Amino acid sequence: MIAEAPRRTGAPLDTDLEAIAAAARHLGVKRAALATRWHQPLNDAVAKYLKSAGVEVVGQQASGRTMAENATLGAADGMRMALELGRAALTAAPTAQGLILPGGRWLSIHAVAALEAEFGKPVFLNLNSSLWAALRSAGRGLPVAGQGMLLAS
């Protein structure tokens, strides 16, 4: 689909996971920890996809929630979970060069500054990675100060 869209429309196409992989490669991250709210089969599929894109998942932490359960998660609980899972993933995977917190249905942007300050490693989300990719593609708007290592690069 990513290759076909430009042929059909003349416009580029990207996905959140492609943007995360590109952003990780941009910062030289070849080994990453993965922290999600998802169940293991989905995490394994994401890890396999990332590996094919040049980013090896060296540790995982997950809450094991279904998509339906995630839909009912309150904002405060999701924010707390992003910090807790991210911290646990980076602590359990000391060889990780960065952290991936994928998913668009949880509030995790606040975790970027907190976890980067605590661990000194970049944190990649759907939001910051897709914004980075879009700004980079447009040739403008970077670096963005105060929004984490990726957008500052």
> Rounded distance, CA 50 to CA 60, Å?
13
Buried b (16+ CB within 10 A) or exposed e, 120-132: ebbbbbbbbbbbb
Predicted pLDDT of residue 24: 98
Residue 55: the pLDDT is 98
Q: What is the pLDDT of residue 138?
A: 85
Asked whether the predicted pLDDT for residue 2 surpasses 70, the reply is no
Backbone angles phi, psi at 63, to 5 degrees: -85, -15
- In degrees, to the nearest 5, what angle opens at C-alpha 38 toward C-alphas 150 and 32? 35
pLDDT tens digits, 65-74 = 777 877 777 7
Range 106-121 average pLDDT: 94
Higher pLDDT, residue 140 or 56: 56
- Give the strand pairing for 98-101 and 31-36: parallel
> For residue 13, what pLDDT is reported?
63
Beta strands per DSSP E along 41-91:
56-62
Strand partners for 125: 101
What are φ and ψ of residue 90, in 5° steps? Answer: -70, -35
Q: Is 104 helix (H, G, I), strand (E, B) or coil?
A: coil
A 10 A CB-CB count for 33 gives 28
Asked if 87 and 62 touch (Cβ cutoff 8 Å), the reply is no
Helix orientation angle between 109-119 and 75-92, rounded to the nearest 10 degrees? 30
